[in-house]
Amino acid sequence: MRTSLNEIRLIDGYIFNNNPAEEALLFDAMLIINPQLSGQIVWQKKAHTLLQQYSRKKLKAEIESAHQKLFSEPAHGNFRQKILSFFK
């Protein structure tokens, strides 16, 4: 299991271009020796994209929830009026 975690770390470093020079060189050699590694890079990039999209959706939902609370509950009437006064 340790090897795969190290591979994941190296692939992340490759994807985000933040591996130290010696690790980048080692990774380039690994790409030559192991052609399946390029497929792993593709899948890891897809995983990062999916995580990013999920995080954005979750953040948007949290913001929308806060918006609904602040602009629809009577307890926050003063706050709502102050905010709306900025846009008049």
Quote the CA–CA distance of 8 and 85 in Å, as a whole number.
51
pLDDT digits over 23-65, tens only? 999 999 999 999 999 999 999 999 999 999 999 999 999 999 9
pTM of the model: 0.73
pLDDT for residue 4: 87
Confidence of residue 3 (pLDDT cuts 50, 70, 90): low
Q: What total number of domains does the chain contain? A: 1
How far are the Cα atoms of 54, 63, 77, 79, 83 from residue 87, in angstroms, in the given order?
Answer: 32, 20, 16, 13, 7
Q: Which domain holds residue 16?
A: 2-85
pLDDT for residue 2: 59
Tokens of 84: 């709306």
pLDDT for residue 67: 92
